[in-house]
Amino acid sequence: MKNNMTHKVLLSLGSSIEPRKTYLDIAVSALESLEETSSVRVSPIHETEPMGAAQNPFLNMAVTLAVSDLTPHEFLQQALVIEASLGRTRTVHWGDRTIDIDIILWGESIVRDETLTIPHPFMAERSFVLAPATQIAPDWMDPVSGLSISQLLQRLEAVPCNV
């Protein structure tokens, strides 16, 4: 069902398989070319250490865009098509990948079902999501916590690391 509304969307993109930057560039171009997207902004790229089963360093970036006439689930399907077109396979959970496109925020929407959780359930724990996002959307609000992206990053950075 189309609703003719435009939503501010925050995405996190990452790649840990070479050519990492090329995969990010192609994914951004594919997102820009979607008929339902406009006002695409990208953060600078951050190189981060792998987590989970991944072995290679990641390049991460944030992307904001305006999405009209798509539900979050419809947009997710388009993001999965972009990932698949770039050779993304889901064989190892949190493993290396050519491209990862995560929906972090969809306006002020909260979505929780078997296929999608928005806001992204781990965003407040991941500096590789928050640091790039703060560069292009510092004042965007997490509708669950009521905190801005920059406040979430400040809170994360204030937590002492247990070594």
Cβ atoms of 140 and 128 within 8 Å: the answer is: no
97 is catalytic: yes
Sign of the CA dihedral with 120 first, then 77, 91, and 46 last: negative
* Choice among 88, 96, 126, 142 that is catalytic: 88
Chain position carrying tokens 């990641």: 58
20 is catalytic: no
Residue 154 is encoded by which pair of tokens? 């400040």
* Choice among 20, 100, 126, 142 that is catalytic: 100
142 is catalytic: no
Q: For the chain, state the CA radius of gyration.
A: 15
The CA angle 93-83-122, to the nearest 5 degrees, is: 45
90 is catalytic: no
* Choice among 69, 90, 96, 97 that is catalytic: 97
Q: How far is CA 51 from CA 25, 94, 127, 134, 157, in A?
A: 22, 7, 12, 21, 17
Q: Please list the active-site residues.
A: 88, 97, 100, 102
